[in-house]
Amino acid sequence: MSVIPAGTEVSFTITYLEMVERPDWTAPGLPPEARLEKAIDPPAWYFLALYGAVGRDYEWRDRFDQSEAEVAAFVGDPEVELWTLFQDGWPQGFFQLDFREAGVCDLAYFGMAPEAVGKGLGGKMLRIAIAKGWDRPGVTTMTVNTCELDHPRALGLYKSLGFQAVDTETRSRILVRDRDPALFPA
């Protein structure tokens, strides 16, 4: 497949998923050289740096279209948790849990920096994120969404861990970066 140039309009499908029971597996541990840290009162720039690093190849840009005040309100909400996975002195990936809707934990963001993909940390971090979501008292449902612009293994990974597709939506977007499908092995 050839590179799709920036400026091209592409259609993509968003899949909305949910999990209505806590999974029966336990969250794995991380390797000793890795650590997961919850950000306390993170500034908007910190979230945007992670969001940009993880999402740049997947056309994540909706948060960049918001004002700094809007991003800060989301990131600073006490019902939103931002977790960063560190290894080798730099952030390898992150996830965000949104508990603002009663009884629901939305896995609002999850991803690995491109340089960290394939090191075996992503699946572990996702299982930890799911466990942390279910650990919050009162959670009866976990939700997440992914789209065809995300890593091609994302949807299958979510389903393999217990999420079920509940809806889809088709949208289009004009690419802001060249998109090389060869970067995303299925």
Condensed to tens digits (0 to 9), the pLDDT of residues 46-59 reads: 999 999 999 999 99
Q: What is the mean pLDDT of residues 174-178?
A: 91
Specify the residue for token string 């971090």: 125
Instruction: At 157, list the tokens.
Output: 């990974």
Cβ distance 4 to 164 under 8 Å?
no
pLDDT band of residue 185 (cuts 50, 70, 90) is low
* Average pLDDT for the chain: 95
Residue ranges of the domains in the chain?
9-183
Q: What is the dihedral of CA 56, 62, 66, 72, to 10 degrees?
A: -70
How many CA atoms within 13 Å lie on the side-chain side of 94?
A: 24
Beta bridge partners of residue 98, listed in sequence order: 80, 106
Pairing of strands 104-112, 141-147: parallel
Contacts of 37 (CB under 8 A, 6+ apart): 83, 84, 86
Average pLDDT over residues 67-74: 96
Q: How high is the pLDDT of residue 110?
A: 97
Grouping H, G, I as helix, E, B as strand and the rest as coil, residue 48 is helix
| pLDDT tens string 116-148 | 988 889 999 999 999 999 999 999 999 999 999
Domain 9-183 listed as CATH 3.40.630.30: yes
State the DSSP string of 58-86: GT--GGGGS-HHHHHHHHH-TTEEEEEEE
Among 157, 131, 128, which residue's Cα sits nearest to residue 142? 131
- Please indicate whether residue 154 or residue 185 has the higher confidence score (pLDDT): 154
What is the structure's pLDDT at 30?
A: 94
- How many other CB atoms are there within 10 angstroms of residue 117's CB atom? 19
pLDDT category, 2, cuts 50, 70, 90? confident
Query: Is 82 within 8 Å of 43 (Cβ atoms)?
Result: no
pLDDT bracket for residue 186 (50, 70, 90): low
pLDDT higher than 70, residue 12: yes
Query: How far, in Å, CA of 129 to CA of 123, rounded?
Result: 10
